[in-house]
Amino acid sequence: MISGWILLSCVSGLLASDMPKRPNILLIVSDDQGYHDAGFKGSDILTPNIDKLAGEGVVLENHYVMPQCSPTRASLMSGRHAIRNGFWKGNIPPAGEWGLRLNETTMAEMLKRNGYKTHAVGKWHCGFYSWQHTPVQRGFDTFLGGFLGAQKYFSHKRGAGFDLRENYYNEQGEFVEELRKDLNGVYNTNIFTDRAVQIISDHDQSDPLFMYLSYTAPHHPFEIMGSDLKEYTGHMSKSTSKRKTYAAMISVMDRGIGKVVDALEEQGMRDNTLIVFFSDNGAVMGYPGSNYPLRGGKHGLAEGAVRGLTFVNSPMLKTTGYTNKDLFHVTDWYKTFQALAGDKPKKANKEQLPLDGMNVWNSIAKNQRLGREDILINMRVPEKIHDDIPEPRIEKRAPRDDILEFKTSNFFVIRHKNWKLYSGRYLLQGWTSENNLDGFKGASKLESGVKLFDLDTDPREERDVSASNPGVVEEILAKKEGYEEEMTWIGKRPNTGKLKNNLWKPWVEL
């Protein structure tokens, strides 16, 4: 249960007396990258820098994220599961009048109150209907990127609307919005890399650095420079053109990550920097990514949707070069960074809402067991959706959410130890092939009832063993009530945003 996470967080924190103090933190998130889509996973995609960092660091085999972009990012930024921060129903659409609630203390706010310089680069996707919901007003000192969930890589547009901006407060304390139309035609992965390198080069090392480098690659639309396509995919003769483009997008991101790490080395910051890399969810079924050998992909609930490609790298780690098979969750990074920063939330001016993650430092740094048994994948409860009353938050307007990609109703999906249980009515997808060379196996369809898989013996989720394990099913289903009690309810959320002068920007004054 969620409360169990909190108890485990407290216990874990007590064991971390030898944690490094206020290290630099480089948090890199890729977008819709498949579980199999890096060289160290056996892919034919060229990722030498990622492979080196993973090989010399710690690979997290069971790092769970949410099935979609916004819920993962909101859970990361808040340290709270999507069922508690209001993102359990899905993504924020471009015109959606809702976002990460303002009473949530973001990771950037928490680190900033502990002396960190905080910078966000790339994709936001945690809401922008008011300026108060945008990165620089959520704890980041600077932001260069897009507010929405996707954009074209050269024109930086979503539809007809432009969405590449730079935000910061100037020396007079005035909020600045600079539209970076001068970068029209420049590939955005390169823009984000160059900005990250600049931030590192300009950083005053008397303060610790937190950089959230949130690439849009390899999220669609699938676009790439012709020269990069030629350089990175000449060996992929059996792949489709779209797969080659997707692969080159990842390779260009990998090249950028190499430049960022080189910048840390050049500035003498590498030894005191923790690098965390993960994909926000699995590759989309039907697109060119591969989650092999796992089942499913983005928007679903199977392992291919919610096990992000993840590694950690730092000279501060005591044990490296191995794969850690503990159960991790995206909310853990908040609690871990909080411990590294030496934060004392009870002394903060803003009330800290209860966190759902664990301080995982001893697990990743020393390969010590976490002791976690449960990971809530997601749940949906129709009774928690109210059309006619405001949400329990401090914004002035009640949002609604009528973006529901798959017409599921009431489901509860959870991992307990080696078991994965599905109940209710839920989307269950098929499988992608290795390197996506042989297409897809099994159709995506809505299922009803209970299914149980033993991930130790059946990691591909092919054999339902619920009938032969009724006691296990009963034990796990008994957990649902506790999670439901922790769920935040949500209102209906209108899509009221409109382009103005072909620009995406906040439209509601709070």
**Which SS3 state, helix, strand or coil, does residue 161 take?**
strand
190-196: long-range pairs with CB below 8 Å, 24+: 190/252, 190/256, 191/144, 191/164, 192/121, 192/122, 192/144, 192/145, 192/216, 192/256, 193/255, 193/256, 193/257, 193/259, 193/260, 195/121, 195/144, 196/121, 196/256, 196/260, 196/263
pTM of this prediction exceeds 0.75:
yes
Predicted confidence at residue 96, as pLDDT, reads 92
pLDDT attached to residue 438 = 81
Q: What is the mean pLDDT of residues 173-191?
A: 97
Residue 400 has pLDDT above 60, yes or no: no
What backbone torsions phi and psi does residue 130 show, to the nearest 5 degrees?
-125, 155
pLDDT digits (tens, 9 = 90+) for 159-170: 999 999 999 999
pLDDT at residue 508 is higher than 70: yes
Start-end of H helices in 173-235: 188-202, 226-233
Name every residue whose Cβ is closer than 8 Å to that of residue 202 and which is 6 or more positions away in sequence: none
Output the pLDDT for position 127.
Answer: 96
Please count the other Cβ atoms lying within 10 Å of the Cβ belonging to residue 107: 26
pLDDT of residue 439: 75
Specify whether the CB–CB gap between 484 and 379 falls below 8 A: yes
What pLDDT is stored for residue 266 in this prediction? 98
> pLDDT tens-digit profile of 232-276?
999 999 999 999 999 999 999 999 999 999 999 999 999 999 999
68 vs 16: CA distance, rounded Å: 32
Catalytic residue status for 69: yes
Residue 503: per-residue pLDDT: 97
Dump the DSSP string for 386-441.
ESSS--SSSSSS-------SS---SEEEEEETTEEEEEEEEEE--EEPGGGSS-EE
For position 259, what pLDDT does the model report?
A: 98
Strand 24-30 with 273-279, pairing: parallel
Mean pLDDT throughout 478-502? 89
Amino acid letter at 25?
A: I
Least confident of 255-269, 357-371, 372-386: 372-386
Model confidence at 494, in pLDDT bands (50, 70, 90)?
confident
Q: What is the pLDDT of residues 114-160, one digit of tens each?
A: 999 999 999 999 999 999 999 999 999 999 999 999 999 999 999 99
By three-state DSSP, how is residue 340 classified?
A: helix
Rg for the chain, CA atoms, rounded: 21
Catalytic residue among 36, 63, 119, 125: 125
pLDDT tens-place string over residues 459-468: 999 999 999 9
Asked whether 57 and 462 are in contact (CB, 8 A), the reply is no
3-state SS assignment for residue 143? strand
- 36, 63, 69, 119: the active-site residue: 69
DSSP-derived secondary structure letter, 503: B
The answer, yes or no, to whether residue 305 has pLDDT greater than 60, is yes
Confidence check: pLDDT of 297 > 70: yes
Confidence of residue 442 (pLDDT cuts 50, 70, 90): confident
Q: Is the peptide bond before 293 cis (omega within 30 degrees of 0)?
A: yes
C-alpha 66/C-alpha 153 separation (Å) is 25
The pLDDT, as a whole number, for residue 389 is 54
Confidence grade of residue 11 (pLDDT, cut at 50, 70, 90): very low
> What percentage of the chain carries pLDDT values higher than 90?
83
Question: Is the bond leading into 221 cis (omega within 30 degrees of zero)?
Answer: yes
